Amino acid sequence: MLLDMLPTRIFTPRDLGSRGNALNMIRLLLALAVLYSHAEVLSRTGDGVVWQGQHIGSWGVVGFFAISGFLITGSRLRSTAGKFLINRVARIFPGYIVVLIVVALGFGPVAQIIEKGTLDGYWGTGVTPLQYIWGNALLNIVSYNIGTTLSTSPYGQAWNGSLWSLYYEFWCYIIIGVLLSWSLTRRRAWPTVFLFLASAACHACIDRVSPYIGDDESLKLLIFMLPYFMGGAVVRMLHERLPMRAWMALASAVISYALIVSYPDFGKQLASPFIAYLVLWFGAVLPSPSIIKVHDISYGVYIFHFPVIQLLLIMGVAAHGFWLLLAMTVAITFVLATASWFGVERAAMRWSRGLKPWGDLLRRDSPADGAPDPAPSGRV
């Protein structure tokens, strides 16, 4: 195959599988981009920063999926199918379940008291708190609201509009996990490249594909998101033959721009390997504070910021200015994300590897293996 004739080169100057990269910091910046976008939209301050029909927060999710495709593919190549699945569940679900519980049993009652002056009806009016937790527990969001809370929010009664992407990210994990179950697909890049091209083609021809999938909006959204993940997977399968060079990053940026602008309907998906390379290049060359290399709170920022914004809105914080709303959102979200990381997420990942859940707080446990980025981004 032509792909197998490329010269062998590893990523330089920093191997993205090592502990010296800035991917945690980039994921945190992407999560903050999503936070900023949601703060503007939810407060009705404006439409946010939009380019080519997508908010800056939506581009943040694209970045999450690209990083995740690269890192999760690497995780699958190093793991058995069973271990891979355990690690993925341990990364996604504990923090996710915690945020559902915190919203239903913490934020929701506070909102009820602020809006109604009493908790009467909160526990028994559908969707009840327990229905919210139980109904959404498997990532596919069934209910965004709890009872009649958030009736005074400018945006509406959705408690956590960020969680939708996790369902599709987990499906991407399953797809790459199945694809790399054979020695041929693990040793050769072309099956991954083929699946990327097929997924991009399906999205580009969605009008022709729709008669075969009916009105299944979930499947259509998976077709929309999968190429972003697979773009990162393609880069991972070729990474030993791709040097990390500034001129290649610049070329990737130019090609991405040209594809996105020239083909508004599907150029973003087609450009995803180049977007992934560009994001990963920044991860390889940018400096990052040591504490961020060791501890990754980006997932917590992604899953907690939306309910924080909603609660602050019904408290009237936005009336004192958007920047106060933004500052308070960042501060509260960082506290919750940090607690989630140390108390739940990191512990669950360590437990899944047979390590002491709360041990070695100053040591990074493994190479940057990804997180659900958005985002999850993927993390091992």
> Quick one: tokens of 101?
């519980």
Mean pLDDT of the chain: 89
Q: How high is the pLDDT of residue 195?
A: 97
DSSP labels, 192-216: HHHHHHHHHHHHHTHHHHHHHHTT-
- Inform me whether the pLDDT recorded for 364 exceeds 60: no
Residues 159, 145 contacting (CB under 8 angstroms): yes
* Helix, strand or coil, per DSSP, at residue 290: helix
359 in any annotated domain: no
Rg (Cα) of the chain, in Å, rounded? 21
d(Cα 344, Cα 285) in Å, to the nearest integer? 30
Any residues with CB less than 8 A from the CB of 301 and at least 6 apart, and which?
28, 31, 32, 35, 333, 334, 337
| pTM of the predicted model as reported, rounded to 2 decimal places | 0.89
185 in any annotated domain: yes
376 in any annotated domain: no
Residues 325, 318 contacting (CB under 8 angstroms): yes
6 in any annotated domain: yes
Q: How confident is the model at residue 96 (pLDDT cuts 50, 70, 90)?
A: very high
Domain residues for the domain of 217 are: 2-352
pLDDT tens-digit map of 313-360: 999 999 999 999 999 999 999 999 999 999 999 999 999 988 888 777
pLDDT tens-digit map of 111-139: 999 999 999 999 998 899 999 999 999 99
367 in any annotated domain: no
37, 222, 146, 307: CA torsion to nearest 10: -30
d(Cα 90, Cα 83) in Å, to the nearest integer? 10
103 in any annotated domain: yes
DSSP state of 296: -
Looking at the structure of the chain, the number of domains it has is 1
375 in any annotated domain: no
Q: How high is the pLDDT of residue 209?
A: 79
Q: How confident is the model at residue 207 (pLDDT cuts 50, 70, 90)?
A: confident
- Residues belonging to the chain: 380
377 in any annotated domain: no
Q: How high is the pLDDT of residue 55?
A: 85
